[in-house]
Amino acid sequence: MATLQPYKKYNVVAYDYATSLPDGWQLLPNIAIFQERIERGYENEELLSVTIGRGVIKQSELDKKDSSTLDKSKYLLVYPDDLVYSMRFRQGASGYSNYKGIVSPACTVLKPRKGVKLNSRYYYYMFRIGLYKNYVERYAYGIADGQMPLRYFDFKRMYSIVPPIEVQNKIVEYLDKKNSEIEKFVRNKERLIEILEEQKVNVVNEHIKGFHTEKYFIDSENEFIGKIPSGWSFKRLKHVAIVKGRIGFRGYTVQDIVGFGEGAITLSPSNVFNHKLILEENTYLSWKKYYESPEIMIYENDIVFVKTGSTIGKTALIPKTDEKMTLNPQLVVFKKIRINPEFLYFLFTTSYIQKIIELDIIGGAAGTLSQQKTKTIPVFFPDDKKQQLIVSMIKEEYSKIDVAINNARKEISSIKEYREALITDLVTGKRSIPQLQVS
């Protein structure tokens, strides 16, 4: 942002999130800028959705099941250039519409107040910066964190920055170009990460069958596994580990879900990503319910396995941790593993075991794999010494690939931080783009 300089002249503004604005800019109540659009009865229009990452898009573009109601008579009409936000405004669920369509009545649709000239995309950028989302938090209220709606009654009492329309247009033009460049950079880095993750699978596929340590092979008589080294054991999962799930134990209700520090982490599919345990956003089960089911308490070197949902087959090896953990009904856990747990974990990440799992799924890609079927998944392995040798070779190659993956993720994080700072500085008037620095 070295070429982006402050404006020539600023005026003091007596407001908390903006203490000064460039000469000619205003800070106005939203009621003076926007008007709520409430037009219903257009149920035949295309269904739109307000997303956190992509703004307003067509429902058909979402990679998930349509959860809208059959009766759409109360859905709100949206025109191109309208702004729309949902109950998750604070998390970034707001956007500018390129389409005519309808949105859920839980959303709020905004249009310019009569006689007001504005560039909707300027406010699209403003609404999505952290500064404005934090500002929204003071006016939103409700019963669930992250789902506290910002009603138009409260939105209209808030204030927004209003530059001259020609300035808005220039800023939008500049940000659209920069954002396009950044999105392309991010896509390229994400594709690189995908390729590197695929490379990790190839590494495991090669090493796990002993291609680097064995000379003689036999047919496993399984179409997906193919040949395995001669002398290796070939068994079902139930013969090398105990498979436990919540089914058969005492269930729990929403009243048993508690806050941080009041219970044990209850693992769900969202805690298993790319065959790794992720403890960032957790659900907690009361201590009472946790201790009612000791058979599914999670410990070091257990393996958790997703058996229900869109990520069926993903696994995570539990590292050494002080966290108390259990699991929800969408997962099972492999316990008392009688071979090297790391070897078994790597085996479950191979493409051939994943294909076997896919074959037994009931209900499609987002269906379920029964606990009984999970127990029958075939596993093959050498003696303990060779298991450890294979694990060591995989981990050595993994470490090199992970360095490249982490570097790519850091670059993505850095460019996104740059974009947030860039947008914030431009829409709040802290800096001007080169085209405006003559003013």
pLDDT tens, position by position, 302-345: 999 999 988 899 999 999 999 999 999 999 999 999 999 999 99
Mean pLDDT of 233-242: 95
Q: State yes or no: pLDDT of 264 exceeds 60.
A: yes
Q: Which two tokens stand for residue 215?
A: 């000379």
d(CA 94, CA 86): 6
Mean pLDDT of 411-431: 96
Mean pLDDT of 354-371: 81
Q: How many CA atoms lie within 13 A of 86 on its CB side?
A: 20
- Find the range with the poorest average confidence among 114-128, 220-234, 263-277: 220-234
Q: State yes or no: pLDDT of 68 exceeds 80.
A: no
Q: State yes or no: pLDDT of 61 exceeds 90.
A: no
- Find the range with the poorest average confidence among 115-124, 201-210, 338-347, 372-381: 201-210
Phi, psi of 426 (to 5 degrees): -80, -45
Per-domain residue ranges for the chain?
A: 15-162, 164-193+384-439, 215-381
Mean pLDDT of 288-293: 91
- Find the range with the poorest average confidence among 70-74, 116-120, 255-259, 377-381: 70-74
Q: What is the pLDDT of residue 147?
A: 57
Mean pLDDT of 128-138: 90
Four-point Cα dihedral 174, 176, 180, 183, nearest 10: 110
Q: State yes or no: pLDDT of 152 exceeds 50.
A: yes
- Find the range with the poorest average confidence among 3-17, 46-60, 182-196, 245-259: 245-259
Q: What is the pLDDT of residue 439?
A: 44
Q: State yes or no: pLDDT of 97 exceeds 80.
A: yes
What is the residue-wise DSSP string for 340-390? -HHHHHHHHHSHHHHHHHHHT-BSSTTSB--HHHHHT-EEEE--HHHHHHH
pLDDT band at 72 (very low <50, low <70, confident <90, very high): confident
Q: State yes or no: pLDDT of 405 exceeds 50.
A: yes
For the chain, the residue count is 439
Q: State yes or no: pLDDT of 375 exceeds 50.
A: yes
Q: What is the pLDDT of residue 219?
A: 86
Q: State yes or no: pLDDT of 145 exceeds 80.
A: no
State the average pLDDT for the chain: 89
pLDDT band at 220 (very low <50, low <70, confident <90, very high): confident
Q: For the CA atoms of the chain, what is the radius of gyration? A: 27
Q: Which residues contact 380 (CB under 8 A, 6 or more apart)?
A: 220, 225, 228, 232, 233, 234, 235, 347
Can you name the CATH fold of 15-162?
Adenine-n6-DNA-methyltransferase TaqI; Chain A, domain 2 (3.90.220)
The single-letter code of the amino acid at 203 is V
Q: Which residue has the tokens 């808030």?
A: 158
- Find the range with the poorest average confidence among 88-92, 128-132, 228-232, 369-373: 88-92
Q: How large a percentage of the chain has pLDDT more than 90?
A: 67
- Which residue from 245, 244, 314 is spatially nearest to 277, judged by alpha carbons? 314
Q: State yes or no: pLDDT of 53 exceeds 60.
A: yes
Q: What is the pLDDT of residue 59?
A: 87
Mean pLDDT of 9-32: 92
d(CA 144, CA 202): 43
Q: State yes or no: pLDDT of 381 exceeds 90.
A: yes
CATH annotation of 215-381: 3.90.220.20
d(CA 25, CA 9): 11
- Do 15-162 and 215-381 show the same overall fold? yes
Q: What is the pLDDT of residue 432?
A: 93
- Find the range with the poorest average confidence among 75-84, 329-338, 356-365: 356-365
Mean pLDDT of 116-126: 95
Q: Does the reported pTM lie above 0.85?
A: no
